[in-house]
Chain A
Amino acid sequence: MSRRSHLLRYAASRLALVPLMLWLIASLVFLLLRVAPGDPIDALLGIRAPQEARAALRQQLGLDQPLLVQYGRYLGDLLHGQLGDSLNNGEAVSSVIGHSLPASLELGLTALLLAAVLGLTVGFSGIARPEGRLDLAGRLYGIGTYALPPFWAAMVVQLVFAVWLGWLPVGGRFPATLVPPSGSGFYLLDSLLNRSPEQFWGALRHLVLPACTLGLLLSGVFANALRLNLRRALDSDYVEAARSRGLSERRVVLRHALPNALLPVLTITGITVASLIGGALLIEVTYSWPGVAFRLQEAISQRDYPVVQGIVVVVAALVVAVSVLVDLLVAVLDPRVRF
């Protein structure tokens, strides 16, 4: 069988598992929410409402139905592409996700870009002199940024650059006094399409601190991954062979070692992208960034079952899709991979 046929079979087998995984995730989140203590009525009304009012609201929201009926309705809606409505305000969950997911993606992708540039630069910088000062500094950087508690780092950055220096906004996604650009929900892109420099600068200023903080925290992973894999590649037989053929060290590194060292980095990038789709909770909460993780955290505290279920299912689907895509990409790029 040809490699292409193998690849197609591999892709088909991965994709065939997706519905099963999504059903498991959807069922698990449904069950866990019901098993967890507290319920939406308490979250909505606190302790203020009389028993009759609580019962009436429970009935109005359909929470008085048997669990199996609720589960059946939930799965039925999912099969029809319906994620339900928020218990809190009746807003469609798809709309909640539609508003918050672009915010998370804009932050996540910008941070990922910064992390990749910063991390790969640091990871590559020490390669000329292994165990030299630059290499040691790179290692420390990698470990240090990876070990930093995100909420602490975010608050320090916020205090220094927003509160003390007053250079950039403390939080939020857009200046309070401007009208956000309409369109895709990606404010940078939308403001460029609207040809509005004011909107663009407003969005960019709000993006800088959370994206730089998140990028800094993620960059250590890239730095260490590249450094380790590049070292391993430079010690390998095929690089020795290239050197013995008289190729320049630059050519050896850039043409032979680096492409191989970047393959594991691609996998790490995929995993990072997948994790960022669900938002970076601590960063979003600290910077009041209205992303999907921020919204999920609110929904959990309010026991807003449909919103939690909807966000988890959609994010899970996207994570699965990205994971499959990255696996296939690696399989295509790396002939050594067997499947």
Chain B
Amino acid sequence: MLLVGCQPPHPAGQLVVAGKSNLASVDPVDITTLAGTQLLSAIGDPLYKAGADGQIRPHLATALPRLSADGRTARIPLRRDVRFHDGTRFDAAAMVFSLERFRALAKMSYLLDNRIRAVRASGPYELELQLKRPYTALAALLSSVSLSALSPTAYQNHTQRSLTDRFVGTGPYRLVRSTAQKQTLLPFKQYWGPAPRNRGIHLVSLSNSTALFGALISGEVDVLLSTGIESDQQRALARRAERGQLVEGSGPPGEIGYLTLLSNRPPLDQPLLRRAIALSLNRPLISERVSYGIRAPLRSLVPPPLAGSEPPPWPTYNPTQARRLFQQAGYCGSRPLKLPLTFRSNVPADKLFALTWKAQLERDLADCLQLEISGMESTTAYRQLEKGAFPAILLDWTGDYPDPDIYLTPMLGCSTVRGDQCLAGNAAAAGSFWSAPGLEAELQASESLAGAPRRTLLQRIQRRAAAGAAYIPVWQVAPRAWAQPHLRPPVFDGGGQLSLQALSVR
């Protein structure tokens, strides 16, 4: 009883925010997880930031990139009133240092390497980027929190290796303590922007959904992030929010779930069959059964509201038309198509998807399509994608920054195309081996377009991908958060990060 009575109160104005993943390092060059980017969004500042409306706005930059006539040089003016957490001044040289360090050390250095040839300071507060080819989504790319500015002074001894437990950037919070399970953030008093509305954040990780759920219900934590929370517990939290026992907020969907079909081997080398499979998927039913509708049905490879996502080009569920196509391909009746479907055994929603879709097909199209489902651990499955090991597999994808390109190119990009087959490139590595004549050129052309022409071209690319049906989008996942009722509802930025500085008592 003594122990029970000694629960330490939270320091005034400081909040405890819980999520699932441990954090092995706070260095942007090491970070590849959502938990890492969530932390970086509070302690770091990128050049640009996506607002809640999805618009990219200058952050450490003062204007959008000014592109040269050939679109291969971008100049970016920078703020002059910014200081790092160690007190040193932010300038163009510091930004060059940060970007070069990322290119040299980061596990995700390909984000820049694919696009940028060189970085230099063209003035004390002006950055110049040489691009490999014109890229109109440059500002969106530079909104990735992994590209936050770092203090050259603090990182001078860490140009060849990462600094795992310290972070010295320019963000609204400074990191005062960090372990794999817990990070403590305090407001940075010299921050150039609006001050945080709270007096500090303790980010903690717990290892399972039940523990996280229980920690919020028992009042042990103030705010809970949805990553890693099981669907039934998310629904229970949403219901509590409806009853006023919690407050809830959600962000733009960044994660998509999709089926990849192996298009270069029988029987799925027949586009007709792939289209029939696409028509056989009852997304609303599956979404409801698997996640109570939390994983919203998706018929586009690009999640809304990003450009090119509307109108969704993949067909809705149509068993009659699906049956007709299966019959045209020589299936149905006494000869159903037996399709092996692999799901990632360590992702609970994937298994539920496989079981639900299998049951739905047994009910609606049992004589045309039968699933043979099997689970495989995700890391093992990823290794075998490029070997064409899976006739059908459910995967997910989260864009590193809010732009259609980061969703389409990794799935549809292809360096060597023969007919409708991708022999080498992203589509081969993604396990579909599908491409189409001229598709790669259209993808590259979309990178240099902006506004309505780009949107039109992206819609065309998506229509072609839908006709090829080597990928079938299934659902999209929006980040959510729940907070204790005495707090303001959690808000997210356009990059899908919870705004920690906006968390406060009502």
Q: Which of B129-137, B199-207, B326-334, B433-441 forms part of the interface with chain A? A: B199-207
B379 in complex: contacting residue of A175, A205, A301, CB < 8 Å: A301
CA distance A201 to B2 in the complex (A): 9
- Contact partner of B164 among A90, A169, A177, CB < 8 A? A90
A42 touches B382 (CB 8 A): yes
Residue of B whose beta carbon sits closest to that of A298:
B22
Query: When each residue 45-84 of chain A gets 1 if its CB lies under 8 Å from chain B and 0 otherwise, what string results?
Result: 1111111110011000000000000000000000000000
Contacts of B113 in A (CB 8 A): 52-53
The stretch among B7-15, B82-90, B187-195 that forms the contact with chain A is B7-15
Give B180's nearest chain A residue, CB to CB: A290
Q: Is B146 an interface residue (CB 8 A)?
A: no
Q: Is B380 an interface residue (CB 8 A)?
A: yes
Q: Say whether A88 faces chain B, with CB atoms less than 8 Å apart.
A: yes
* B218 and A163 contacting across the interface, CB-CB below 8 Å: yes
Whether A38 sits at the interface, judged by CB under 8 Å, is yes
Contacts A38-B380, A43-B379, A288-B205; is A171 near B211 (CB within 8 Å)?
A: yes
Q: For the complex, is B426 an interface residue (Cβ under 8 Å from A)?
A: yes
Interface residue tally for chain A (C-beta within 8 Å): 59
Partner of B215 from A51, A91, A170 at Cβ < 8 Å: A170
A53 to B429, CA, bound (A): 12
Given A50-B429, A166-B219, A298-B22, A38–B6 Cβ distance below 8 Å? no
Q: Which residue of A lies closest to B430 (CB)?
A: A47
Contact A47 B385 (CB under 8 A): yes
A254 in contact (CB, < 8 A) = no
If over half of A's interface residues share one DSSP class (helix, strand or loop), that class is named, otherwise mixed; here it is loop
A242 at interface (Cβ–Cβ under 8 A)?
no
Q: How far is the CA of A177 from the CA of B204 in the complex (A)?
A: 10
Do A47 and B382 touch (CB < 8 A)? yes
Q: How many residues of B are counted as interface, with CB atoms below 8 angstroms from the partner's CB atoms?
A: 61
Q: Do A53 and B206 touch across chains, with their CB atoms under 8 A apart?
A: no
Task: Name the interface residues of B432-471: CB closer than 8 Å to any CB of A.
Answer: none
Measured CA separation A234–B25 after assembly (Å): 59
| CB of B377 to closest CB in A, whole Å | 7
Residue of B at shortest CB range from A39? B383
Q: B395 to chain A: closest CB distance in Å?
A: 6
Q: Which residues of A contact B220 (CB under 8 A)?
A: 162, 166, 169-170
Let me know if B107 is at the binding interface, CB within 8 A.
Answer: yes
- Asked if A253 is at the interface (CB within 8 A of a chain B CB), the reply is no
Please tell me if B68 contacts chain A, counting CB pairs below 8 Å.
no
Q: What is the bound-complex CA distance between A173 and B437, given in angstroms?
A: 57
Which residue of A44, A176, A208 contacts B16 across the interface (Cβ within 8 Å)? A176
Contact indicator B108/A49 (Cβ below 8 Å): yes
Contact status of A91 and B382, CB under 8 A, knowing A51-B429, A168-B4, A201-B6: no
Q: Is A223 an interface residue (CB 8 A)?
A: no
* A17 interfacial by beta-carbon distance below 8 Å: no
B108 touches A45 (CB 8 A): yes
Bound-complex Cα distance A120 to B156 (A) = 59
A204 cross-chain contacts in B, Cβ below 8 A: 3
Bound-complex Cα distance A90 to B24 (A): 10
Q: Which residues of B contact A43 (CB under 8 A)?
A: 379
The reply on B177 being an interface residue by CB < 8 A is yes
A224 within 8 A of B: no
**Given the interface contacts A42-B379, A177-B14, does A159 sit within 8 Å of B210 by beta carbon?**
yes
Supposing A89-B30, A90-B30, A91-B24 touch, asked if A288 and B8 sit within 8 A by C-beta, the answer is no
**Is A86 part of the binding interface, using a Cβ–Cβ cutoff of 8 Å?**
yes
What residues of B have a CB within 8 angstroms of the CB of A294 in the complex? 207
Q: Which one of B24, B380, B395 has the highest number of Cβ atoms from chain A below 10 Å of its Cβ? A: B24
In angstroms, Cα B110 to Cα A39, docked, is 19
CB within 8 A of A47: which of B219, B221, B380, B397? B397
Q: Tell me how far the C-beta of A162 lies from the nearest C-beta in chain B, rounded to whole angstroms.
A: 6
Judge whether B488 is part of the interface by a CB distance below 8 angstroms: no
**Complex Cα spacing A170 to B220, Å:** 8
Closest to A86 in B: B24
Establish whether residues B162 and A89, one from each chain, have CB atoms under 8 Å apart when the complex forms: yes
Does A158 make an interface contact (CB < 8 A)?
yes
Pairwise interchain contact B429-A162, C-beta atoms closer than 8 A: no
Choose among B11, B24, B429 the residue that contacts A89 (Cβ–Cβ < 8 A): B24
A288 contact from B108, B177, B181, B202, Cβ within 8 A: B181
A44:B107 contact, CB within 8 angstroms: yes
Contacts of B24 in A (CB 8 A): 86, 88-89, 91
* Any A CB within 8 A of the CB of B410: yes
Which one of A47, A90, A177 contacts B202 once the chains associate, using CB atoms below 8 Å?
Answer: A177
Minimum CB–CB distance for A5 against chain B, Å = 50
Q: Are B107 and A90 in contact (CB under 8 A)?
A: no
The 4 closest A-B pairs by CB, nearest first: A163-B214, A53-B110, A89-B25, A38-B379
Provide 14 A-B residue pairs closer than 8 Å at the C-beta atoms, listed in order of the A residue.
Answer: A38-B379, A38-B380, A47-B385, A48-B108, A53-B109, A89-B162, A89-B164, A91-B25, A155-B210, A171-B211, A171-B215, A176-B202, A201-B8, A204-B3
Q: Known contacts A53-B109, A158-B211; can you find 5 more A-B pairs with CB under 8 A?
A: A37-B380, A42-B382, A47-B395, A52-B113, A176-B202
